[in-house]
Amino acid sequence: MEALWQDLSTRQQAGRLGKDEEKFFKKLVKVLGYLSADPRHNSLSSHEISDLSR
């Protein structure tokens, strides 16, 4: 995870992320912000996946 973060943040600062990678990076930053502020934040709730619940 650390290697992924380093790669994305370095390439983002250099402006070399693709469109999909840029979206992913923004979502990752947002989620990490929620986790650091409140690990029980509503936006971190996941939906039940029926195939895994069986």
- Per-residue pLDDT at 37: 96
pLDDT digits (tens, 9 = 90+) for 1-54: 899 999 999 999 999 999 999 999 999 999 999 999 999 888 888 877 677 676
Residue type, 21: E
pTM for the whole thing? 0.77
22: how many CB neighbours lie within 10 A of its CB?
A: 14
Closest CA to 31 of 49, 51, 5, 3: 5
Residue in the structure block whose two tokens are 């934040």? 41
CA–CA dist 9, 24 (Å, integer): 11
- Per-residue pLDDT at 54: 64
